[in-house]
Amino acid sequence: MNNINQEDAINTNEPVISISGLYKSFGELDVLKGIDLTVFKGENVAVLGKSGSGKSVLIKLIVGLLKPDKGEIMVLDKHITELKQKELDELRLRIGFSFQSSALYDSMNIYQNLAFPLTMNVKNLTKIQVDEAVEEALEAVGLKDKIQEMPADLSGGQRKRIGIARTLILKPDIMLYDEPTSGLDPITSAEINALINDVQTKYKTSSVIITHDLTCAKNTCDRVAMLIDGQFLKIDTFKNVFNNEAGQINDFFTYNFIQ
């Protein structure tokens, strides 16, 4: 479990994401079958599940890239399904999305990768303001010295860090992480987990972390939502979710060989 002071950081009276009765199907395939989830201000919540369980579909619903078949999604006090495109675009500026692939532009150096979303979305910034914002974001992820390098010159873990820096440059209220430790070795994964905690502490973000990595969930999240067969079987602290659980939750735990 992360080591922030939860009483100071998490406001359980202020939800930033509220999901109720959410359903989503694709043809004959029922992916989400009536799920409920609340994420509070300052909280990290992991959505755990096997590949194909609907974790990434949930993220796309939260940011309005998909429409639910049924149910309600509120993000930062806005009803996602009722927003016009301009309103949705404005809301998305308050949400940072860290892609599984990092999604960096290969033709741009690191400075340009970070400056691009900032100058596209915040008008009338001076060159000095852009430079300072880029340097601050890179310093937050410990890669200020990579500012002039190209993505191809970086390791997988460094690209993940730069991807997170690019989301931080707009100072989002909510961070969405899609499989942040996927494809990384254990040491680099531990570094990314520590960075997720640092972001929570420094930027006071609320986060949803989509993962099948139990170590990531255990070390970064205040609560875990266990998604199996389109439903949350249990939402609680990591310890309570996996404490003497039988059936599918225990099977998931055993499969991942966590110590």
- Tokens 């974790």 locate to 55
Structure tokens at 208: 């949803």
User: Considering 171, 193, 227, which residue would you say is the last residue of a domain?
Assistant: 171
Most confident of 36-40, 226-230, 246-250: 36-40
Band (4; pLDDT cuts 50, 70, 90): very low
Do the Cβ atoms of 151 and 162 come closer than 8 Å? yes
The residue from 171, 186, 221 where one domain ends is 171
Do 55 and 121 belong together in one domain? no
The pLDDT value recorded for residue 243 is 78
What number is the average pLDDT over the span 217-227?
Answer: 95
Domain around 259 = 1-94+174-259
Q: What is the pLDDT of residue 49?
A: 85
Q: How far is CA 14 from CA 40, 43, 76, 234, in A?
A: 6, 10, 9, 21
10 pLDDT above the threshold of 80? no
Average pLDDT of the chain? 89
C-alpha span between 57 and 7 (Å, rounded): 31
Q: Are residues 166 and 193 in the same domain?
A: no
Residue 39 is predicted with a pLDDT of 97
111 and 77 in a single domain? The answer is no
pTM: 0.87
For 97-131, what is each residue's pLDDT tens digit? Answer: 887 777 889 999 999 999 999 999 988 899 999 99
Cα torsion through 148, 150, 155, 157, rounded to 10 = 70
Q: What's the mean pLDDT in 216-243?
A: 92
Mean pLDDT of 137-155: 95
User: Do residues 51 and 157 both lie within one domain?
Assistant: no
